[in-house]
Chains A and B, each alone.
Chain A
Amino acid sequence: MRRASWQEYQKEIADNKYYYARSCIRQNFFPGSERAFLDILTNDLGVDIFDDPLHTSCTGIGYHSDVVPLETIMTVVARQFSLMAEAGYENFISSCITSFGIYNEVLATWEEFPETEERTRRYLREATGRELVKPRSIAHTSDIMFHHRHSIARRAKRRLVNLYTGESLRVVEHIGCHYAKIFPKSGIGGSEFPYVLAGMIEAWGGDVVDYPERRHCCGFGFRNYLVQANRGSSIANSHKKLESMAPYKPDFIVANCPGCAMFLDKWQYAISEMDGTTYGANGRGIPVLTYEEMAGLVLGYDPWELGMQFHQVDVEPLLDKLGVEYNPDAKYLGRDGKLIGRPRAVAVNGCGVELGLRR
């Protein structure tokens, strides 16, 4: 029952011609993932995707920090939709989970309360002279990767298999809360059994780990992280998840939300600094990947070109299991191969060069 239930929550995903909206958090912490997404779709899959220089933040972090009013974010969203239409596109795809939730919430609110749509149209016209045109489809970029997962599998240079044991890698998938908890029908598999990442893992040869706190929030909680005084709440929730998954010995975590991928990585570092606890094998952390990084490795992309040096938890143990060839000396180079030093070594980081192969 469990494995089939995701099929009750299907949504139509366009095959081609996407308008791409970037994410505030992702471009800060995973700029390589956003670039890889565009490269994979354009170069590997031959899909038409437009990276518009005119769109801005959706202001979602401000909205969920309760400083940006609903009327304002609705009008900002309306501007993004107008830009999409003006560029000749109908399929809006969002790199951010918070934004994805916002886009769905705004469209649903306009539907439920038509006076809010009329008001938004008026504000947009007055502020920008633009006309609101609603998209034909809304998808998160992980939906798009899921949609093309079999095409990627056909082009795979490697599978999610441990080179040394021949066994499938054990993967924890973490779905951002706003992917499907707000609008379950907008996510593949709904809110209880989302299949968007599990589908990619299975298509590319990995095993999905089921564990008790699989659906628990990563702990971001907007103001619960953004304000320094509140961060105990954020780390406590990541801690709960990490403690719950650790006994299942995952080889890596993959997340589809910008914040979740960052927090599950950074809080492992903070926990190791606080009490010495680490959750990976041999006293190291559990690598936390984006789905573009996972797809990129499957397709044979260089890990440093994917931006995996942005992670606080070393990814080398995973690269070794996958049999990825990489140059340790190139990890921390700057633009044009410039030497710019390297981060100081800490418990969960700095093992790449000296530890070599790990299982």
Chain B
Amino acid sequence: MLTEDVRLREGLKACMNCGVCTAVCPAAEFYDYDPRQIVAIVQRRDDREIEQLLRSETIWYCGECMSCRPRCPRGNTPGYVIQALRTLSQRLGYFVESEKGRQQLALKRLIGDNILRTGYCLTPRNILPELHPEQGAVWEWIYENDESIYGRFSECYGKEGAGALRKIDDESLAEISRIFEVSGGKAFYDTIEQHSERKAREMGYDGATEEYMMHTYTYNSENHY
């Protein structure tokens, strides 16, 4: 199944395990993370080991900056391998077996659903200051006065027309929705929800509720370093 993903075919040809990818990897500096080992496991094609990876924390540490790609002397892209592993982990429902994997529910709801709702990955009203203290005092001021402040820079803030943060018209949003429908995007969202629902109940929640989603968004066991 993994080799059906073109990113795996493009991202892994023959790895000599030199470790340059790990040397330049920002995630490897912070986490107990070694892309060289992940590529080695996938290259061995040992299904048991690969299934362990799909259930692990490890595959969720990468930030997909792709710093590994231009440095690999053999033209591999460990970041693409990670993308293929993460996609398969979600399709098979294994992502819910790790703390970092379970966060996919929060990403689906915070970013994924926003795309279908607004046509954008993010909009000012969903960058809540209480969830983003690092955005600081200026962001609080912008958030509280958004119409007046964005109105200085866009005639179309929240309205149809050309300009920053314009409202996407209904027909364009309908086209995006149909694209998600026919290309499997909606089914993928549903898969994330269904497996999260199952896991949430296993963990004692009343399903994949807002409370469970916020748990995945905020909880850090501190066992990742």
Contacts and interface: CB of A to CB of B under 8 A. Distances in A.
Contact of B107 (A52, A55, A223): A223
Interface residues of A, number: 96
Nearest to B60: A223
Secondary structure of the B contact surface, majority rule: helix
Nearest to B215: A229
A352 to B, nearest CB: 12
Contact of A57 (B90, B115, B134): B115
8 contacts: A54-B172, A61-B122, A65-B107, A70-B7, A76-B176, A217-B63, A310-B142, A312-B137
Contact of A127 (B31, B108, B135, B179): B179
A232 B61 CA distance: 12
Interface string B136-173: 11111110010111111110100011111110110011
Interface stretch (A23-31, A136-144, A146-154): A23-31
A281 interface: no
Contact of B137 (A216, A267, A346): A346
B179 A123 contact: yes
B134 A343 contact: no
A229 B121 contact: no
A181 B65 contact: yes
Contacts of A25: 121-122
A112 B6 CA distance: 9
A75 B213 CA distance: 29
The 4 closest A-B CB pairs, nearest first, are A221-B63, A334-B148, A335-B151, A72-B185
Given A72-B180, A72-B185, A267-B134, 13 more contacts: A28-B122, A53-B162, A53-B163, A65-B107, A109-B6, A123-B183, A127-B175, A217-B26, A219-B26, A224-B27, A224-B63, A334-B145, A342-B141
Q: How large is the interface on B (under 10, 10 to 19, 20 to 34, 35 or more residues)?
A: 35 or more
Q: Which of B65, B131, B162 has the most CB of A within 10 A?
A: B65
A192 B71 CA distance: 9
Interface of B: 5-7, 9-10, 26-27, 29-31, 60-67, 69-70, 83, 86-87, 90, 100, 103-104, 106-108, 110-112, 115, 119-124, 127, 131, 133-142, 145, 147-154, 156, 160-166, 168-169, 172-173, 175-176, 178-185, 188-189, 192, 216-220
Contact of A226 (B110, B160, B180): B110
Contact of B162 (A28, A52, A112): A52
Interface of A: 22, 24-25, 27-28, 31-32, 34-35, 51-57, 59-62, 64-72, 74-76, 79, 101, 109, 112-113, 116, 123-124, 126-128, 177-178, 180-182, 184, 190-192, 215-217, 219-224, 226-233, 235-237, 240, 266-267, 269-270, 307, 309-312, 332-336, 338, 340-346, 349
Nearest to A311: B138
Contact of B179 (A128, A192, A217, A340): A128
B26 to A, nearest CB: 4
A31 B106 CA distance: 27
Contact of B183 (A65, A71, A312): A71
A177 B65 contact: yes
A216 B27 CA distance: 11
